[in-house]
Amino acid sequence: MEPATEPRFVTTRRVEFVDTDMAGIVHFSNFFRYMETAEAEFFRSQGHSLASTKNGSGVGWPRVAASASFKAPAYHNDVLEIRIYVRRRGFKSLTLQFEIRRGETLIATGQVKTAYCRFRPDQPIESLEIPATFDSLIGPYDPAADKEPVGKDEG
Amino acid sequence: MEPATEPRFVTTRRVEFVDTDMAGIVHFSNFFRYMETAEAEFFRSQGHSLASTKNGSGVGWPRVAASASFKAPAYHNDVLEIRIYVRRRGFKSLTLQFEIRRGETLIATGQVKTAYCRFRPDQPIESLEIPATFDSLIGPYDPAADKEPVGKDEG
Amino acid sequence: MEPATEPRFVTTRRVEFVDTDMAGIVHFSNFFRYMETAEAEFFRSQGHSLASTKNGSGVGWPRVAASASFKAPAYHNDVLEIRIYVRRRGFKSLTLQFEIRRGETLIATGQVKTAYCRFRPDQPIESLEIPATFDSLIGPYDPAADKEPVGKDEG
Amino acid sequence: MEPATEPRFVTTRRVEFVDTDMAGIVHFSNFFRYMETAEAEFFRSQGHSLASTKNGSGVGWPRVAASASFKAPAYHNDVLEIRIYVRRRGFKSLTLQFEIRRGETLIATGQVKTAYCRFRPDQPIESLEIPATFDSLIGPYDPAADKEPVGKDEG
């Protein structure tokens, strides 16, 4: 699937020595961490956090699904560019797309679906409607434009 | 997509303290590591390794794509059951499916596509035909049954 | 310093692919994780946990200090033996020593000092007297034998 | 032990979500990774790398010993300051000291001893004399000032 022409957010990430494995390249699991770190920076750019707690309760964005394709290896000391696209701003969930590049070389693409949730001690995680305070970050919720039905799981 | 009725391999994994995050649950990136560790154990069960090197060169199974859906949280000290299914035994690539359970609770499902490759110093990673020595582990290659064309990338 | 002649607990650990780095060996930070995982298993062997929470509060064993010497490299697929010695059972803290071996080869030695602590939401972590329920695991507290003074930090 | 009054290098590090554990704080093993990442940046500041390979061989700085004391917890989104001091510039080894702070709060101190080594395929890691090209980074080797004897292990 094609990302929108303009990324919503762009940042960079240095590949650390510990991110590599015995094949001499970044371990694939670390690309998921790079995506989350870029997402956290995207959130912070407007004063939001991926997770915050108070009095033992909190709100956050646990991952519902994640996928990535690995196009070319990345190496220690590489500076990677990470581009974030808002793929879908749902009622209760958010799907972001990612492109990871080193110069002109496409290293990986990925997609992560998260849900806005409340954490309370000893209670199940509960998904919530995404507040309007996130509209300037990820766009307002538009039921007419939303391609997926708003259901318990799919909101 | 439905996994085959019988898993090809089943193992267990203890959730370690370091695998958790401040939300009190296993960080999503670690499920990709659990899947790889189970895959390595699956390989070792017939004397194979995910990666081996000699004289600076080696063969291994770098990941081409990976995806997962996270159904329920997992916690420190949980013992998870990991089931592996062979989704597709291609000419040069292998696609495995994973189910991660804690008792009757489905925690996560995942899919990982890997390619059999040669690593040589200062040369690009080169994909190879999967040797017949892997047939007893993942099944023989059957062009008639293979749903995807055998191409440079898709083999 | 010499460990006691007999380890208090012995377990094994398989080196996973993701634990290696581009030098082809286990990244040093992972030995600290191996030690903690072995410690967790030691605790579980008598029904204890390194961390437990209820209603948002909890008790656990945060690390106060950790050190290790790396004697020989460890490789993917190695099965390491981890031996745990109780170096000092303090009033509020516990110091464990570790030996990590592959067969006859000493891979690493380490020492970890932890403190028994209470975690409560939005309050500082508070160290507590180690309960007598741990006596069978780590030995009783013996002021006469304790080489270090029992102070706020050093208990 | 007292660090020199002036750090040789200072950098910052953002605490990522994945660095936290279920106690809501940075897992202790990650402070060792923070120290190594800061060290890598210190090396890059004068064009050096912690590890480099060519034709399957390489040179790098494997860790010989590492220790840390954890003074106060660090949390997601914290920006930590990491100060590096050259504790000892040996003939074949380097000992660095680290201070990790969040504003005025001392979070952790650490010390890491590394050795300059050559990696060659299927041969033991071999320690080498630190080249003079590192003198501007870590100071020249001064046998008269060196407090430890230059031996096989201690150089």
Residue range C30-36: average pLDDT?
A: 98
Report if residue D108 sits inside a domain. Answer: yes
Model pLDDT, residue B3:
52
Per CB-CB distance under 8 Å, the chain C contacts of D58 are 23
Compute CA C20 distance to the chain's CA centroid, rounded to the nearest angstrom: 22
Query: Do A26 and D5 form a contact (C-beta atoms < 8 A)?
Result: no
Model pLDDT, residue A56:
75
Residue range B91-113: average pLDDT?
A: 98
Q: Is the pLDDT of residue A119 over 90?
A: no
Compute CA A30 distance to the chain's CA centroid, rounded to the nearest angstrom: 13
Nearby residues of A87 by Cβ (< 8 Å), 6 or more positions away: A1, A3, A95, A96, A97, A111
Per CB-CB distance under 8 Å, the chain D contacts of A38 are none
Compute CA A103 distance to the chain's CA centroid, rounded to the nearest angstrom: 21
Measure CB to CB from residue D16 to each of A18, A40, A76 and give the nearest one: A40
Report if residue A148 sits inside a domain. Answer: no
> What would the pLDDT profile of C45-104 be if each residue is shown by its tens digit?
999 999 988 777 889 999 999 999 999 999 999 999 999 999 999 999 999 999 999 999
Q: Is the pLDDT of residue A30 over 50?
A: yes
Compute CA C155 distance to the chain's CA centroid, rounded to the nearest angstrom: 17
- Higher-pLDDT residue of B3, B140: B140
Show the domain range for A78. 9-138
Q: What is the mean pLDDT of chain B?
A: 91
Lowest-confidence region among B61-65, C40-44, C120-124: C120-124
Query: Which chains are adjacent to chain B, needing at least 3 Cβ pairs under 8 Å?
Result: A, C, D
A53 and C CB contact within 8 Å: yes
What the block records as the tokens of B77 is: 């000290």
Residue range A119-132: average pLDDT?
A: 91
Model pLDDT, residue D17:
97
Per CB-CB distance under 8 Å, the chain D contacts of C22 are 51, 53
Q: How confident is the model at residue D3 (pLDDT cuts 50, 70, 90)?
A: low
In angstroms, what CA-CA distances link B4 with B1, B54, B149? 10, 36, 21
Please report, to the nearest 10 degrees, the dihedral formed by the alpha carbons of residues A128, A129, A132, A135 taken in order: 100
> What would the pLDDT profile of B27-53 be if each residue is shown by its tens digit?
999 999 999 999 999 999 999 999 988
Report if residue B51 sits inside a domain. Answer: yes
Calculate how close chain D gets to C63, using CA atoms only, in Å.
Answer: 7
Backbone angles phi, psi at A64, to 5 degrees: -95, -35
Model pLDDT, residue D150:
47
> What would the pLDDT profile of D24-38 be if each residue is shown by its tens digit?
899 999 999 999 999
Measure CB to CB from residue C33 to each of B18, B40, B50 and give the nearest one: B18
Pairing state between β B93-102 and A9-14: unpaired
Lowest-confidence region among B4-13, D73-82, D90-99: B4-13
- What is the number of structural domains in chain C? 1
Model pLDDT, residue C104:
97
Model pLDDT, residue D151:
45
Nearby residues of D2 by Cβ (< 8 Å), 6 or more positions away: none
Please report, to the nearest 10 degrees, the dihedral formed by the alpha carbons of residues B30, A35, B124, A77 taken in order: -100
Q: How confident is the model at residue D119 (pLDDT cuts 50, 70, 90)?
A: confident
Q: What is the mean pLDDT of chain A?
A: 91
Compute CA C104 distance to the chain's CA centroid, rounded to the nearest angstrom: 22
What the block records as the tokens of D146 is: 């060196």
In angstroms, what CA-CA distances link A39 with A23, A35, A95, C88, D20? 27, 6, 11, 44, 16
Calculate how close chain C gets to B122, using CA atoms only, in Å.
Answer: 13
Query: Do B28 and A32 form a contact (C-beta atoms < 8 A)?
Result: yes
Q: Is the pLDDT of residue D154 over 50?
A: no
3-class state of residue C36 by DSSP: helix
Return the exposure string of A78-111: e unless at least 16 CB atoms fall within 10 Å of the residue's CB, then b.
Answer: bebbbbbbbbbbbbbbbbbbbbbbbeeeebbbbb
What's the whole-model pTM score? Answer: 0.93
Model pLDDT, residue C116:
96
Contacts 24+ apart (CB under 8 A), A128-132: A128/A59, A128/A92, A129/A91, A129/A92, A129/A155, A130/A89, A130/A90, A130/A91, A130/A92, A130/A93, A130/A94
Report if residue B147 sits inside a domain. Answer: no
How many other C-beta atoms lie within 10 A of the C-beta of residue B41? 19
Say if the Cβ atoms of D17 and A24 lie within 8 Å.
no
Backbone angles phi, psi at C135, to 5 degrees: -60, -40
Q: Is the pLDDT of residue D142 over 70?
A: yes
Q: Is the pLDDT of residue A28 over 80?
A: yes
Say if the Cβ atoms of A29 and B28 lie within 8 Å.
no
Q: Is the pLDDT of residue C3 over 70?
A: no
Lowest-confidence region among A48-52, B93-97, C109-113: A48-52
Indicate which CATH number applies to the domain containing D14. 3.10.129.10
Report if residue C151 sits inside a domain. Answer: no
Instruction: For an interface test with B, give the residue of C14, C15, C17 to mutate (most B CBs within 10 A).
Output: C17
Say if the Cβ atoms of C18 and B37 lie within 8 Å.
yes
Q: How confident is the model at residue A148 (pLDDT cuts 50, 70, 90)?
A: low
Closest CA to A27 of D112, B37, C34: B37
Query: Do D15 and D21 form a contact (C-beta atoms < 8 A)?
Result: no
> What would the pLDDT profile of C91-102 be if each residue is shown by its tens digit?
999 999 999 999
B59 and C CB contact within 8 Å: no
What the block records as the tokens of D48 is: 């050096």
Secondary structure (DSSP) of A1-13: -PPPSS-SEEEEE
Report if residue B1 sits inside a domain. Answer: no
Report if residue D20 sits inside a domain. Answer: yes
How many other C-beta atoms lie within 10 A of the C-beta of residue C3? 17
How many other C-beta atoms lie within 10 A of the C-beta of residue B128? 13
Q: How confident is the model at residue C146 (pLDDT cuts 50, 70, 90)?
A: confident
A25 and D CB contact within 8 Å: no
B62 and A CB contact within 8 Å: yes
Q: What is the ipTM of this complex?
A: 0.92
Model pLDDT, residue D55:
75
Calculate how close chain A gets to B19, using CA atoms only, in Å.
Answer: 13
Residue range D86-108: average pLDDT?
A: 97
Backbone angles phi, psi at B90, to 5 degrees: -85, -175
Report if residue D27 sits inside a domain. Answer: yes
Nearby residues of A140 by Cβ (< 8 Å), 6 or more positions away: A89, A132
The conformation of residue B59, written as its DSSP 8-state character, comes to E
Per CB-CB distance under 8 Å, the chain A contacts of D18 are 33, 36-37
Model pLDDT, residue C148:
64
Measure CB to CB from residue C65 to each of D33, D53, D68 and give the nearest one: D68
Per CB-CB distance under 8 Å, the chain C contacts of A31 are none
Per CB-CB distance under 8 Å, the chain D contacts of A24 are 53
Distance in angstroms (rounded) separating the CA atoms of residues D112 and A40: 30
Percentage of chain A with pLDDT > 90?
77
Percentage of chain C with pLDDT > 90?
77
> What would the pLDDT profile of A32-41 be if each residue is shown by its tens digit?
999 999 999 9
